[in-house]
Structure 1
């Protein structure tokens, strides 16, 4: 039987958002080690690239842990398949003429849409969209030595 109402957010996401409602956080929620899982060998090459691109960043934010392997692999695999469909569309277009003379949408259009929806659901889970990120509050204490951060703090380099 399905739960009613909104899906509960993980405590790690609530902590990053700053718990604006000041509701009590779930102290009994399992707290897996905040360490990125190893990239599965069975992922497609583009999925592995996306894994390498995102895993370390999510680990540093404390969002990705060992137990998230399947969900994160799902995101990466959906990304790879969406990218493949989009590359096909870019190369061949969105419609083709059938042997009977009718114009028809290529299947890759609906494939791309399907995988984009799947990706977006995973993106919300991991805080990978601008709106999801805008709700996160991270610890900026380690950014003092970041050259870009120093430029931004000095007003974009004007008069520095």
Structure 2
């Protein structure tokens, strides 16, 4: 676009300045651990805003459930005996659902490598799309 660029102004209410918020007290132990792992990274990238807090809470709950169900199956076994023979532990389906939910929420929060894109890579790392083996 030609001509003078407009003066840009900072809009209040965007990324939270200062410290990274603490995990909510109602989260489980595993969910709090996930919060302490992921929230500082989101805060550092200025992605932890008032409108993403609920998504982060949901992500941490789902990630915490995955670990809880894994502990449950580790203690009780992955198979349970029923009158119709051995069957997968009931926590297995719940864990799969929690994994799916955590994966979707992580992608929404840009916590997956795919969603982070090429951020932090040098021009040399990015390349130009042509492999040297292709041209040889």
Q: Which runs of 5+ in 2 are unaligned?
A: 1-10, 123-136
- Would the alpha carbon gap of residues 138 and 32 (structure 1) be closer, same or farther in structure 2, given more than 3 Å must change? farther
Aligned residues: 110
Confirm or deny: 8 A CA contact 2:28 2:64 kept in the other structure.
Answer: yes
Cα distance between partner residues in 2 of 1:76 and 1:138? 25
Residue 40 in 1 paired to residue 21 in 2?
no
TM-score by length of structure 1 reads 0.60
TM-score by length of structure 2 reads 0.70
Among 70, 76, 90, the residue aligned to 1:86: 70
Among 66, 76, 82, the residue aligned to 2:50: 66
Max Rg structure: 2
| Deviations 1:68-97 (CA, angstroms, capped at 9, x unpaired) | 221101001111111000112223322111
RMSD, aligned CA: 2.5
Cα distance between partner residues in 1 of 2:26 and 2:66? 17
Confirm or deny: 8 A CA contact 1:86 1:112 kept in the other structure.
Answer: yes
Among 37, 50, 64, the residue aligned to 2:34: 50
State the 4+ residue runs in structure 1 displaced beyond 6 angstroms: none
**Which residue of the partner structure matches residue 143 of structure 1?**
none
